[in-house]
């Protein structure tokens, strides 16, 4: 590839909403800075896709089916034929649900492919009780993964899992957030929230089952002087809203739809602490390093997190948060009361989070992405 005189054409494929997939956007930017033309291929999901602010060429498929087998089948068929006839020099498959189409096209067109595994896909909770669905995805992975040359993933635990299964260790590129020191947070006056309250944020594009949302709402019902922002989307949001109404705490919980990152980080920086309460119920959560963890650190606020190895290592190494030993409403409530009542402790954690943000940021992490893609391009 290195002898070509024109800009290399790189096609990223992702099944998530392009507008809100920060990892894809950030890595695409790094690749673009290596004098490459980047196109991101995904699906049209909502109104956010109409006002396209993505600084790359994009292709969004309109899908009749929104989820389930038929959705994945027809998305991959469309993706296969689009990639087959689209002029590209390098393919990038983001997650297992785009891998098959990219791999087949890379073989047919004899061009290289990068596989970026954003999570341990066959360990996600949504398929653990669906043995046939899990078997299908695992079969695809087993057939293709051993033949891949360029692989990256998001945590050391996932990299080790793949190494144990296939004898190949991916490059680890963590989902560190961009430095945000130049972005101001909202004031309490702008948000209309009491200055005396402990202000918390619970954010994510996948506020789903086993992510501690239900226990958090129950804890809030037993903890006065705490206000919660829930920002994002997910399957359990209707359940959380119903719990808020049942506990009569709607004056202390505010639900905000998912936002572009620059707007999201303003809310994050307004908070006293951020919550990441994934439970150790499946391999994907156990091995994860969530985006929100690094958003909280970028914002310079303490992290309240469940006892998962990758997250715990970050927090303990930087002393920038509190580990909740077990995700129960009682344990969460005890943690919130400590931060509410001990301002010196809260300020110490905040200071340490600001210090951690100086090293745990995308500006530093992206150097590994540059080195990775230089190896691919120059091969």
pLDDT reported for residue 51: 65
CATH of domain 188-357: 3.40.50.2000
What integer pLDDT is reported at residue 134 of this predicted model?
95
Q: What is the pLDDT of residue 47?
A: 66
- The model carries a pTM of 0.93
317-320, long-range: CB < 8 A, 24+ apart = 318/352, 318/353, 318/355, 318/356, 318/360, 319/348, 319/349, 319/352, 320/349, 320/352, 320/353, 320/355, 320/356
Every domain of the chain and the residues it spans: 8-176+362-377, 188-357
Q: What is the DSSP letter of 60?
A: E
Q: Find how far residue 199's CA is from the centre of its chain.
A: 23
CATH class of 8-176+362-377: alpha beta
Residue 135 φ then ψ, to 5°: -60, -40
Tokens read off for 146: 């051993």
> What pLDDT, on a 0 to 100 scale, did the predictor assign at position 125?
87
Query: What is the reported pLDDT for 202?
Result: 98
Give the separation between CA 42 and CA 130, rounded to whole angstroms.
Answer: 26
Ranges of the chain whose pLDDT falls below 70: 1-5, 46-52
Closest C-alpha to 45, from 295, 233, 177:
233
> How much is the pLDDT for 46?
67
Please tell me the distance from the alpha carbon of residue 3 to that of residue 173, in angstroms, as a whole number: 27
Q: Tell me if 8-176+362-377 shares its fold with 188-357.
A: yes
Task: Report the C-alpha gap between 9 and 29 in whole angstroms.
Answer: 13
- pLDDT tens, 179-195? 999 999 999 999 999 99
């Amino acid at each position: 590839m290195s002898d070509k005189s024109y800009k290399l054409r790189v096609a990223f494929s992702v099944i998530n909403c392009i507008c809100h997939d920060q990892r894809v956007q950030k890595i695409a930017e790094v690749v673009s800075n290596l004098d490459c033309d980047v196109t991101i291929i995904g699906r049209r999901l909502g109104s956010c896709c109409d006002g396209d602010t993505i600084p790359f060429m994009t292709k969004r498929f309109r899908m009749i089916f929104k989820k389930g087998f038929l959705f994945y089948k027809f998305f991959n068929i469309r993706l296969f034929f689009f990639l087959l006839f689209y002029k590209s020099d390098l393919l990038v498959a983001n997650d297992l649900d785009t891998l098959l189409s990219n791999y087949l096209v890379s073989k047919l067109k004899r061009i290289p492919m990068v596989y970026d595994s954003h999570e341990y896909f066959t360990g996600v909770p949504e398929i653990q009780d669906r043995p046939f669905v899990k078997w299908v995805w695992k079969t695809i992975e087993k057939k293709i993964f051993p033949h891949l040359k360029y692989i990256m993933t998001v945590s050391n635990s996932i990299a080790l899992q793949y190494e144990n299964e296939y004898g190949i260790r991916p490059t680890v590129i963590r989902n560190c957030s961009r430095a945000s020191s130049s972005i101001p947070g909202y004031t309490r006056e702008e948000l209309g929230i009491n200055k005396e309250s402990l202000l918390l944020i619970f954010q994510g594009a996948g506020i789903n089952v086993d992510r501690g949302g239900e226990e958090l709402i129950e804890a809030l019902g037993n903890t006065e002087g705490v206000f919660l922002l829930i920002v994002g989307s997910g399957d359990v949001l209707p359940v959380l809203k119903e719990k808020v109404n049942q506990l009569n705490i709607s004056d202390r919980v505010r639900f905000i739809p998912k936002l572009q990152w620059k707007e999201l980080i303003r809310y994050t920086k307004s908070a006293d602490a951020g919550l990441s309460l994934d439970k150790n119920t499946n391999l994907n959560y156990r091995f994860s390093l969530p985006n929100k963890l690094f958003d909280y650190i970028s914002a310079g606020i303490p992290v309240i997190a469940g006892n998962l190895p990758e997250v715990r290592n970050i927090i303990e190494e930087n002393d920038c948060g509190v580990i909740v030993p077990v995700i129960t409403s009682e344990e969460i409530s005890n943690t919130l009361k400590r931060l509410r009542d001990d301002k010196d402790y809260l300020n110490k954690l905040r200071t340490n989070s600001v210090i951690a943000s100086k090293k745990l940021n995308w500006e530093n992490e992206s150097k590994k992405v540059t080195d990775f893609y230089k190896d691919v391009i120059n091969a």
